[in-house]
């Protein structure tokens, strides 16, 4: 018995791990499977694991649905625009906190860390009034512009930690060669923190792509809706039968970019989370 124990043990572990994987990925499987069903099949009292006659009817329909296509474009547009500005400003601020000695740095850094304690919801009401005064309701501005001011203390912290590990001699020799801070930041430091930048970009992308509360508040017409807002309107509690295949088709198409991005970035994410103890 003792001889077989190691093999038995790893067999048992694999069994448990595979079981957990099946459970954790089940919603994804079910989403895809349901998108290929008919409405009757999604409401059938028996289990339809995989539809007998898979139909791509819902996919054909949704690609002719102007509202869906526009909300997809809106999401891509606003996420890209917000992402670029947010990353650049975060990279600048992280540089100030890690590579430059300036009076007041510790105080400002402490203030920045303490903003992590403020729940974002405590700010949404006054920010709404502020954006209302600027006449920004019904535009993408409130979803994009705040990020340009280095939104996201946790992200700044993560990048700062990585930048602080780069040896000081690197910038000092560049100074001797006559480079200034902006050149050092852009040409020397940023290329060295590509992996943490990729991690931050992924976290920001996921947060923006999934965001529901702020788009819901500010985008008040259907032609500005982003994907989560539009998809949430497909489910209407007042209907007796929900158009599940359509909803799940929209869900699959919403999820694809997330899965693709995660697949390419997972190496960086999993490592940097393990290293820094940061949550996404």
Task: List the one residue from 78, 157, 225, 268 that touches other proteins (CB under 8 A).
Answer: 78
Task: List the one residue from 62, 83, 96, 163 that touches other proteins (CB under 8 A).
Answer: 96
CB 20 → other proteins: shortest distance, Å? 6
Q: Tell me, by CB under 8 A, how many residues bind other proteins.
A: 106
The answer to whether residue 264 forms part of the interface with other proteins (CB under 8 A) is no
| Closest CB to other proteins among residues 14, 165 | 14
CA atoms of 184 and 190, how far apart (whole Å):
9
Q: Tokens representing 87? A: 């990353």
Task: List the one residue from 50, 111, 113, 164 that touches other proteins (CB under 8 A).
Answer: 111
| Closest CB to other proteins among residues 9, 194 | 9
Q: Residues 170 to 229: which contact other proteins by CB under 8 A?
A: 181, 185, 206, 209-210, 212-213, 217, 223-224, 227-229
Q: Please state the φ and ψ torsions of residue 51, each to the nearest 5 degrees.
A: -60, 140
Q: Tokens representing 276? A: 């820094």
The answer to whether residue 45 forms part of the interface with other proteins (CB under 8 A) is yes
CA atoms of 252 and 236, how far apart (whole Å):
19
Q: Residues 129 to 158: which contact other proteins by CB under 8 A?
A: 129-130, 132, 139-141, 144-146, 148-151, 156
- DSSP-assigned states of every residue in 197-262: HHHHHHHHHHHHHH--HHHHHH--SGGG--HHHHHHHH--TTSSS--HHHHHHHHHHHHHHHHHHH
Tell me which stretch binds other proteins (CB under 8 A): 52-60, 61-69, 191-199, 248-256: 248-256
């Amino acid at each position: 018995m003792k001889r077989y124990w190691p093999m038995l043990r790893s067999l048992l572990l694999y069994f448990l791990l595979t079981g957990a994987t099946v459970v954790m990925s089940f919603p994804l499987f079910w989403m895809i499977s349901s998108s290929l069903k008919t409405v009757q099949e999604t409401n059938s009292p028996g289990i339809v694991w995989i539809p007998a006659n898979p139909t791509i009817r819902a996919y054909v329909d949704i690609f002719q649905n102007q509202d869906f296509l526009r909300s997809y474009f809106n999401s891509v547009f606003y996420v890209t625009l917000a992402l670029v500005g947010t990353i650049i400003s975060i990279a600048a601020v992280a540089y100030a906190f890690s590579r430059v000695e300036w009076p007041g740095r510790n105080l400002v850094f402490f203030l920045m860390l303490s903003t992590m304690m403020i729940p974002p919801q405590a700010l949404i009401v006054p920010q709404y009034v502020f954006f209302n005064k600027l006449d920004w309701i019904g535009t993408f501005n409130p979803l994009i512009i705040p990020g340009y001011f280095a939104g996201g203390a946790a992200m700044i912290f993560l990048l700062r930690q990585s930048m602080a590990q780069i040896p000081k001699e690197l910038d000092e020799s560049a100074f001797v060669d006559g480079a200034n801070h902006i050149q050092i930041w852009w040409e020397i430091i940023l290329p060295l923190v590509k992996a943490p930048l990729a991690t931050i970009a992924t976290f920001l992308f996921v947060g923006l792509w999934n965001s529901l509360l702020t788009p819901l508040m500010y985008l008040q017409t259907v032609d500005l809706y982003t994907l989560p807002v539009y998809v949430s309107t497909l489910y209407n509690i007042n209907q007796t039968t929900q158009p599940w295949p359509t909803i799940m088709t929209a869900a699959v198409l919403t999820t694809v970019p997330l899965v693709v991005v995660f697949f390419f970035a997972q190496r960086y994410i999993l490592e940097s989370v393990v290293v820094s103890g940061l949550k996404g």
